[in-house]
Amino acid sequence: MKIGKSFFINLSIYLMALRSPLIILSMGAYIFSRPVLIQRMARKVFPFIVFLLFAVLYSIIQGNVTEYVFGQSRDVFLSVIVAVFLICCSEYSDDNRILIYKTIKKMFVAIAIIKIGILAFSLLSGIAMGDVITWIRDTWNIQMMSLGVQGTFISRLQIPLDSAVPFFMYFVTKEIIYGKGNKILLYGAFVLLIISMLLTLSRAFWAETVFFIALAIVLEANLFKIFKVLILGTVVLFFLLTMTPLGELVFKIIETRFGGDNNSNIASDVERVWQNRMLLYAFSEKPILGHGVGYFIPNALRSEDTPYLYESQSLSMLMTLGSLGAGVLLLLYMSLCFNSIQKDARGGMKFTVPLIFISLWIFSGSVNPLLFGASGGLIIFFIAKFHVLYKKDIIY
């Protein structure tokens, strides 16, 4: 049976969710079937390779643990590979761009359905969601954060790739605004993604989701559509929150994350503030070149397995790379994005919204250790192809 070359693009995107090393083989299979992509990807990746080689060499000289040096470098490099692969594939043909957009949307929807399935299984079986999450995490080696909702059977359902969903909501909202024909499936996907974000129990993800939906409405819709969306959204939201059991659950989840008397919130916020102080102090010791990749503060660990990861990954990168290294790395990412944007759009304002996306990416990394990896690569791809990722030639 002949396997279509687009199969490897689909497979690569789904393997991101599983955090499988097979993603490299899948990407490689597609790249080598299109020799022109090898040269394009090499040009885009080369500056990052040079930077990481210098960073690794400096870190080893500093005496950092080699395992952690390569571990953190791998996370950064994976984000680059994912972003560059998707950028080059989408620039190769419009068919690829459409395929990538649709596949990413289907992947996020599939994750949302799986989350709802876990919730339903827990409710019907009587097995605590926390236990189900632990079993999935241990069996499939999928990173999932856990946090219970007081007075309910709900627990946090969050995987690393969730950090990219709020950014993608901009394009889904844009599709709702511009899309024509029957939008039932599209509305269904939108609702599922909202539920998926709600189940992360992440205040940062909630804020980002609301922000990107609002930004898309303001920038993409005319006044009539804005008014129609507000009225329709208000009616549907009022019905769901007041006439269905979903309302009580939603309010309970929100109360759990914003309630001032919640011990989990207080402990989490206090620990984050304390870790940030430790990171700032460590940064002040070597503000120019930093302590090197893979460095961690021995008495301020977030995880025993990956001690170099902190809640504020943005701040920890300043500690490890210093202001010079972090600045160079950010410029490399911005150059990757802006070179692509330069091809896709015209006008002096073409970089404005992508810069907002970059700011939110850095903000997201300041409260969750998800700046890099496959999720970071997806976000960089969304920024680079902001103007063309969703176009009116895409039909759901």
Quick count: other Cβ atoms within 10 Å of Cβ 250? 16
Alpha helices in the chain (DSSP H): 6-18, 22-31, 35-61, 66-92, 94-125, 129-140, 165-178, 184-198, 203-220, 223-243, 245-258, 263-285, 313-344, 352-365, 373-384
Instruction: Please tell me which residue, 254 or 144, carries the higher pLDDT value.
Output: 254
The rounded distance, in Å, linking the Cα atoms of 396 and 384 is 22
Distances (CA, A) of 354 to 52, 329, 347, 380, 388: 25, 17, 13, 10, 12
CA neighbor of 159 nearest in space, from 144, 170, 174, 180: 144
pLDDT band at 17 (very low <50, low <70, confident <90, very high): confident
Query: Does pLDDT of 322 surpass 90?
Result: yes
pLDDT of residue 1: 44
Residue 159's identity, in one-letter code, is: I
What integer is the mean pLDDT of 320-331? 97
More confident residue, 124 or 384: 384
- 266 pLDDT band, cuts 50/70/90, is low
Tens-digit pLDDT profile for residues 85-141? 999 999 999 999 999 999 999 999 999 999 989 888 888 887 777 777 777 776 666
Q: Burial, 202: exposed, middle or buried (Cβ in 10 Å; 0-12, 13-18, 19+)? A: buried
Residue 4 sits at the vertex; the CA angle it makes with 44 and 189, to the nearest 5 degrees, is: 80
**Per mean pLDDT, which of 19-23, 62-66, 148-152 is the most reliable?**
62-66
pLDDT for res 346: 84
In which band, very low, low, confident or very high, does the pLDDT at 257 lie, cut at 50, 70 and 90?
low
Burial class (CB within 10 angstroms; exposed 0-12, middle 13-18, buried 19+) of 72: buried
Segment 314-334 shows an average pLDDT of 96
Residue whose tokens read 């080059």: 88
State the pLDDT at residue 51. 98
* Residue 261 banded pLDDT, cuts 50, 70, 90: low
Does 396 have pLDDT greater than 60? no
Q: What is the pLDDT of residues 3-15, one digit of tens each?
A: 566 889 999 999 9
Stated pTM of the model: 0.90
pLDDT for res 151: 47
Report the mean per-residue pLDDT for the chain.
86
Percent of the chain with pLDDT over 70: 85
Mean pLDDT of 44-71: 96
- Residue 146, exposed/middle/buried by CB under 10 A (0-12, 13-18, 19+)? middle
pLDDT of the residue at 234: 77
- Per-residue pLDDT, 173: 93
* Token output for 45: 């990746």
CA–CA dist 372, 79 (Å, integer) = 5
**CA torsion 23→28→31→37, rounded to 10°?**
90
Domains of the chain, by residue range, sit at 6-221+278-384
Which residues neighbour 381 within 8 Å (Cβ) at sequence distance 6 or greater? 82, 83, 86, 87, 90
> pLDDT (tens digit, 9 = 90+) per residue, 236-252?
777 766 666 666 666 66
pLDDT over 70 at 360, yes or no: yes
Mean pLDDT of 23-34: 90
